[in-house]
Amino acid sequence: LFSVAFLLRGPAGPLVAQLGGSVLLPCSAETPLPLEELEVEWRRTDSEALVHLFQEGEVRPESQSYDYSGRAHFLTEGFAAGNYSLLLTNVTRADGGLYICKVFTNLDSNEITAEIKDIGETLTVFLKAILSLSLGVSERLVVIGTGVASAFVGDEVTLDCSVDSHIPPGELENVTWKKKDQEMLVLVFRYDQIVPVSAHELYRDRADLFTAEIPKGNFSLRLKHVRPEDKGEYICEAHSGHLSANTIIALQGLGKTTDY
């Protein structure tokens, strides 16, 4: 039927993603293919769900599976360069699995597969590369968290946040922890020290960082005496010059029983 006249390149190995974050699924041709002939189809291999489609010179969101609506993106400058990689945003657990990138021209076709493995806690160099890409303007400032944490009332909980940059922690303008819904400041770290007065009184004596970990870029929050009202989303945000980046961690499971 079709002959393979162009080479496609996919990922070198399984990909990892952060829950709620973004992941780039690589798929590119050695040389750009003529746009007027081009069809690019990304599918799940297990469910056959159509993740994203480019056909007859246009992106076709209407053909897309509902699960991926608004979350799958081709790269703006990609097609002209033969780069048919897919950027998947707002990653969910269900996104784990195998994907296939099928590329057609009038006479030829080829395909590669990509696998998303490990959604969530794994911190690897690969993940950092993907995150720095998805953060766009903040290329050199990357903030990584675990996405979720849980605790029981009265306990202590650690909300993970790693700041990866080439800037020493002491030169970071600030790292702030905020409760997302009320925009309440939980902890402010500015020019190498915690600024206790900046924190909301609800958190002032309960929130701390792991001092010894700061030089490694570990700005994980240690919240003591957890209260039911602590449940919710927290943002860890780092600022340096014109750069800023953040991660959101949902604190859940505040109860006395594990099935909460």
Ligand X SMILES: *[C@@H]1O[C@H](CO)[C@@H](O)[C@H](O)[C@H]1NC(C)=O
- Contact positions toward ligand X, by CB under 6 A? 26, 28, 70-71, 75, 78, 83, 85, 90, 133, 158, 160, 162, 173-174, 176, 188, 190, 198, 210, 213, 218, 220, 239
Closest distance to ligand X from the beta carbon of 228 (Å): 23
Where b means 16+ CB within 10 Å and e means fewer, 130-159 reads bbbbbbeebeebbbbbbbbbbbebeeebeb
User: Closest CB to ligand X belongs to which residue?
Assistant: 70
Closest distance to ligand X from the beta carbon of 244 (Å): 7
Closest distance to ligand X from the beta carbon of 1 (Å): 27
The neighbouring-strand residues paired with 167 are none
The CA distances from residue 224 to 143, 153, 157, 204, in Å, are 23, 10, 7, 11
Nearer to ligand X, 90 or 182 (CB): 90
Nearer to ligand X, 26 or 232 (CB): 26
Nearer to ligand X, 224 or 228 (CB): 224
Nearer to ligand X, 106 or 175 (CB): 175
Nearer to ligand X, 106 or 139 (CB): 139
Nearer to ligand X, 139 or 228 (CB): 139
Closest distance to ligand X from the beta carbon of 35 (Å): 16
Dist CA 259 CA 253 (whole Å): 8
Dist CA 114 CA 97 (whole Å): 8
The CA distances from residue 143 to 81, 87, 132, 187, in Å, are 29, 18, 9, 16
Dist CA 50 CA 248 (whole Å): 29
Q: Is residue 112 left, alpha or beta, with left meaning phi > 0 and alpha meaning psi from -120 to 50?
A: beta
| Other CB atoms within 10 Å distance of the CB of residue 122 | 13
